[in-house]
Amino acid sequence: MNIGISKHVICSVVLAFPGLVEAADKPNIVVFLTDDQGYGDLGCYGSDSLETPNIDRLCQQGMMFTDFYVHQRCSPTRLAFMTGSHAHRAGCTKVIYNRDRIGIHSDEVTTPELLKTAGYTTGIVGKWHLGEWDAFNPTRHGFDFFYGFMIDLDQGTGIYRNLERIESIKRKTDGQHSPKLLDAAVGFIKQNKEHPFFLYCASPLPHTPWIPNERFRGTSRRGTYGDVIREIDWQVGELMKVLDEQGIAENTLFIFASDNGPVLGIDGGDAGPLRDGKWTDFEGGIRVPCIMRWPGTIAPGSTNRQITGIIDLLPTFCAIAGVAAPGDRVIDGRNILPYLRGEQVEKPIHESFVVPGSVIRHGKWKLLVRELKPGGKSGREGKRPSAPAGSLFNLQDDPGETRDVSADHPEIVADLRRRMDAAVRELEANSRPIGRLPGAPVPETKNNVKKRIKH
């Protein structure tokens, strides 16, 4: 597959859809993505010990997604968001550090690049984590504005405005930075309120270490972790407030989600009814809370129980903006706008969700193709068991993946194995590389996937 022409796709999109840059009537899009927040870490998702009134209100005014999937780690989820493709397809399933000398490939056509063709102004505030070197800076991949964190090998962590390092800091998760990030996000909204904008608020919270802002210390029933969750809720509330004040809330799609499940083994996050958390492909690691509010389009207080995921945002945003998703490569995501509109669909938009070489969900069934071990160190949860390759779970009856029913359904196991094999073969034929600087080590590749699927 030729991916060398990828950036030229953007030009062809504009030609194919004349008048896109006249976009005054298109909705704004705000995505607030947290870092390591569990499925059970919101009041609207069942927590009785965490206070999240603003996010709960967002949920009351919009749609709750019960089966929204991401990757089990930070960088892969963000790569999937930017490309509309599984991270495996876009070349990297590991956390990207500056020492790796890798990042999002220059040939990827990103979510903000596509929205720019429709007349959107694009901004990111917070955590990028798709390459810490200048070549991978967000402003080189479709964002008009960047205020957030990068890590320099010599200078350490810093806050950058576009390409300029403006402050050296110790910790991205220190709550003293929350007002700065919020001010940048609010300023972007006010500056661009007269025309469509896309704002990606990539919060570094509640990733460890937990260092809540002074105003939230000691305010939660769940200790320091709860204080940080309250800080997140405050930020969401302030963004909702400024949209109201500027008179643009009715014309804004607001999305809240987490990049992966919670870190376990410490007195922090909670995956609710789901099994385990970050670093695993158990449901607690890859299924996260997601809420979408779009007044006049999304019915308030609604719930979507279909398989959806972070990969779906790029094609859905394209549909909303009136641009075509890239046609020169495989995009794993699908347009879920019919779900947002409450339309009846003949069959689910996604019948399956696949983590290549690891797990496959098809309808209510989930098969583990390889052994899954617990994520993090066993702590207050006690010793958590592994699950052997070949385990089959009925997620409809058993979302906690506690009962292996493979012996009762050999035909389901065989069918899911065939589907996984087909998915991996397709991936091998249509994968793309991660961006690499000279001297970068070889990242995880499809050869690793081949090893995983031997059974």
2-6, 25-29, 68-72, 261-265: range with lowest mean pLDDT: 2-6
pTM (2 d.p.): 0.93
Task: Return the CATH number at 130.
Answer: 3.40.720.10
Whether 120 and 236 map to the same domain: the answer is yes
Does some domain include residue 406?
yes
The single-letter DSSP state of residue 445 is -
**103 and 181 belong to one structural domain:** yes
| Shared-domain flag, residues 345 and 420 | no
**Which of 77, 114, 109 minimizes the C-alpha distance to 92?**
77
Domain of 244, in residue numbers: 8-16+25-351
Q: What are the residue ranges of helices labelled H in 373-454?
A: 410-429, 446-452
Beta strand 164-168 with 252-258 is unpaired
Residue 439 banded pLDDT, cuts 50, 70, 90: confident
Q: Residue 265: pLDDT band by 50, 70, 90 thresholds? A: confident
Domain end, chosen from 314, 329, 351, is at 351
Q: Is residue 3 part of a domain?
A: no
| pLDDT tens sequence across 26-70 | 999 999 999 999 999 999 999 999 999 999 999 999 999 999 999
Q: How many domains does the chain have?
A: 2
We report the CATH number of the domain holding residue 435 as 3.30.1120.10
List all residues 6 or more positions away from 97 whose beta carbon is below 8 Å from its beta carbon: 132, 151
Residue 262 lies in a domain: yes
Residues 347, 364 within the same domain: no
Together in a domain, 385 and 273? no
Q: What's the rounded Cα separation, in Å, for the pair 226 and 210?
A: 10
Q: How far apart are CA 35 and CA 229, in angstroms?
A: 11
Strand segments (E) across 305-364: 308-309, 352-355, 359-362
Question: Do 73 and 222 reside in the same domain of the chain?
Answer: yes
Residue 12 has pLDDT above 50, yes or no: no
Query: Are residues 230 and 362 both part of a single domain?
Result: no
Q: How confident is the model at residue 376 (pLDDT cuts 50, 70, 90)?
A: confident
- Asked if residue 288 belongs to a domain, the reply is yes
Question: Is 365 in the same domain as 339?
Answer: no
Residue 449 has pLDDT above 90, yes or no: no
pLDDT at 6 over 60: no
Task: Identify the pLDDT of residue 19.
Answer: 39
Number of H helices, E strands in the chain: 11, 17
Is residue 79 in some structural domain?
yes
- The pair of structure tokens assigned to 208 is 């460890």
Asked if 367 and 322 sit in the same domain, the reply is: no
- Encode pLDDT of 294-322 as tens digits: 999 999 999 999 999 999 999 999 999 99
Which of the listed residues 318, 351, 384 is the one where a domain comes to its end? 351
Query: For the chain, what percent of residues have pLDDT higher than 90?
Result: 87
Q: Please check whether residue 1 lies inside any domain of the structure.
A: no
Q: Which of 59, 74, 201, 290 is catalytic?
A: 74
| 247 lies in some domain | yes
Which of the listed residues 296, 330, 351 is the one where a domain comes to its end?
A: 351
pLDDT greater than 50 at residue 453: no
Active-site annotation holds for 74: yes
- Higher-confidence residue of 4 and 256: namely 256
385-390 mean pLDDT: 95
Q: Is the per-residue pLDDT at 24 higher than 90?
A: no
Catalytic residue among 86, 88, 105, 129: 129
Is 155 domain-assigned?
yes
DSSP 357-390: TTEEEETTEEEESS-BPPSS---TT-PPPPB-TT
Same domain, residue pair 341 and 361: no
**Is residue 263 domain-shared with residue 406, that is, in the same domain?**
no
36 and 102 both lie in a single domain: yes
